[in-house]
């Protein structure tokens, strides 16, 4: 071999080594931990794994000279299972960051564990605002919508439209409680009233008794403080009880494109909901969605687009920090602006909340839809500083006023 070529090769290798040496295990490993077989399998699921892989590919497949690896697992919506997987990933498998984390109880448990181990978590799937509130973490981040933003959007809009009395059907765990609580605050602050609520088990198939209570309440709006198949099943059964036909409105407080698609426009039409991404909003979102569709045969919802954004931003932060050390990467995540297909002009607050605009949509009637996946019409844009709590308002102990 030519001696000059050997010298150049050694020189290049010499420059590459210090950068790669800053990466633990010489690989940056990202874990996507979510529900892949249960009630939220379409909400995030394996489609979020594909979104994470797209982000890695778009970044170039390497960071600081080290390869990037995606691993994934199904936490089955159980905090103990999620925590055990996360502990194995951190302690044995060398995972640097865990993302998605559908189901608030799982996300809260894993974020707390990650803080102990100085590892980063970026949540896109769970929705409780406690993640950046009373349960905030120095290395924990919340990327997609939260209960406060959803309450501002859907709750506030319906009261403004005359829906000033509410009854809640609430999923019986942390996410449902938080969503009901936040929405109640907005309903009452605008002069509305909450006439009652009932809690249902996660992944129940029979909403009849709950819907009968909602119907008997006489509330103008039945707020569905649940998600995934629970919301879809409640909407289907509400139609059987004639709730909408009887004059009550249904508010999907957490309902995404994936669930609208599964339910169909005939059943979902007229539903008002809030998301932070819609595939058909502009040319950039359509181009991203087409690439996602080619891989998955479906259009991305907010959770999947947020997963793409969060993984991409994490890799930018690793690059900027010059290391995959969790504390140093977390510091960079709080410094770097967010500007991608999911969020333009996004910013990360000291409490870990990524602030970005939200969108209020109404589901189209079948006759209004002109092409596949043409499901939404935009009603309003909610600026990020209105949708999300500030660090001093969030209740995060690290950012509270002394």
The pLDDT of residue 14: 38
Q: Looking at the domain covering 148-275+359-387, what would its CATH class be?
A: alpha beta
Query: Please, which residues have CB within 8 angstroms of residue 325's CB and are 6 or more apart in sequence?
Result: 22, 24, 118
d(CA 229, CA 263): 9
Q: What is the DSSP string of 137-163?
A: -TTEEE-S--HHHHIIIIIHHHHHTT-
User: Is the pTM for the entire model greater than 0.95?
Assistant: no
d(CA 59, CA 284): 17
d(CA 193, CA 306): 33
* pLDDT tens for the chain, residues 1 to 402: 444 443 434 333 433 434 444 899 999 999 999 999 998 999 999 999 999 999 999 999 999 999 999 999 999 999 999 999 999 999 999 999 999 999 999 999 999 999 999 999 999 999 999 999 999 999 999 999 999 999 999 988 889 889 999 999 999 988 899 899 999 999 999 999 999 999 999 989 999 999 999 999 999 999 999 988 899 999 999 989 999 889 998 999 999 999 999 999 998 888 889 999 999 999 999 999 999 999 999 999 999 999 999 999 999 999 999 999 999 999 999 999 999 999 999 999 999 999 999 999 999 999 999 999 999 999 889 999 999 999 999 999 988 764
Q: Report the candidate in 88, 86, 90, 96 with the shortest Cα–Cα distance to residue 29.
A: 96
The pLDDT of residue 15: 37
Q: Report the candidate in 102, 53, 124, 41 with the shortest Cα–Cα distance to residue 295.
A: 53
3-class secondary structure, 44: coil
Question: CATH assignment of 26-145+282-356?
Answer: 3.40.50.2300
Two domains, one topology: 26-145+282-356 and 148-275+359-387: yes
Longest CA span, the chain: 87
d(CA 349, CA 272): 29
Question: Per-domain residue ranges for the chain?
Answer: 26-145+282-356, 148-275+359-387
d(CA 129, CA 181): 11
The pLDDT of residue 239: 87
The pLDDT of residue 123: 98
Q: Write b or e for each residue in 131-140: b if 16 or more Cβ atoms lie within 10 A of its Cβ, otherwise e.
A: bbbebbbbbb
Alpha helices in 245-398 (DSSP H): 257-263, 265-268, 283-296, 302-321, 326-333, 384-387, 391-394
């Amino acid at each position: 071999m030519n001696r000059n070529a050997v010298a150049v090769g050694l020189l290049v290798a010499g420059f590459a080594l210090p950068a790669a040496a800053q990466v633990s295990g010489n690989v940056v490993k990202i874990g996507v931990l979510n529900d892949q077989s249960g009630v939220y399998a379409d909400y995030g699921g394996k489609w979020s794994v594909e979104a994470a892989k797209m982000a890695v590919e778009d970044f170039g497949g390497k960071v600081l000279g080290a390869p990037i690896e995606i691993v994934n697992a199904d936490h089955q919506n159980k905090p103990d299972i999620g925590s055990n997987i996360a502990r194995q990933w951190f302690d044995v498998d060398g995972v640097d960051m865990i993302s998605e984390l559908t189901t608030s109880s799982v996300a809260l448990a894993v974020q707390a564990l990650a803080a102990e181990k100085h590892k980063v978590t970026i949540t896109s799937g769970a929705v409780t605002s406690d993640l950046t509130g009373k349960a905030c973490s120095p290395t924990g981040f919340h990327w997609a919508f939260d209960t406060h933003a959803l309450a501002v959007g859907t709750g506030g809009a319906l009261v403004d439209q005359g829906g000033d009395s509410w009854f809640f059907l609430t999923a019986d765990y942390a996410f449902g409680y938080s969503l009901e609580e936040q929405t109640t605050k907005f309903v009452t602050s605008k002069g509305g009233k909450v006439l009652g609520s009932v809690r249902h088990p996660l992944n129940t198939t029979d909403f009849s008794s709950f819907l009968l209570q909602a119907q008997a309440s006489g509330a103008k709006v039945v707020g569905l403080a649940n998600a995934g198949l629970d919301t879809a099943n409640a909407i289907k059964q509400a139609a059987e009880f004639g709730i909408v036909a009887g004059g009550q409105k249904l508010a999907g407080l957490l309902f995404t494109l994936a669930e609208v698609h599964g339910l169909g426009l005939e059943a979902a039409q007229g539903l008002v909901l809030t998301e932070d991404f819609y595939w058909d909003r502009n040319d950039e979102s359509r181009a991203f969605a087409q690439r996602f569709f080619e891989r998955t045969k479906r259009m991305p919802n907010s959770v999947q687009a947020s997963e793409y954004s969060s993984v991409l931003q994490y890799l930018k932060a690793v690059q900027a920090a010059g290391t995959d050390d969790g504390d140093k990467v977390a510091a960079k995540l709080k410094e770097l602006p967010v500007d991608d297909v999911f969020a333009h002009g996004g910013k990360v607050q000291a409490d870990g909340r990524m602030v970005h605009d939200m969108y209020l949509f109404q589901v189209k009637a079948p006759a209004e839809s002109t092409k596949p996946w043409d499901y939404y019409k935009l009603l309003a844009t909610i600026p990020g500083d209105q949708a999300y709590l500030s660090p001093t308002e969030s209740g995060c102990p690290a950012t509270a006023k002394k």
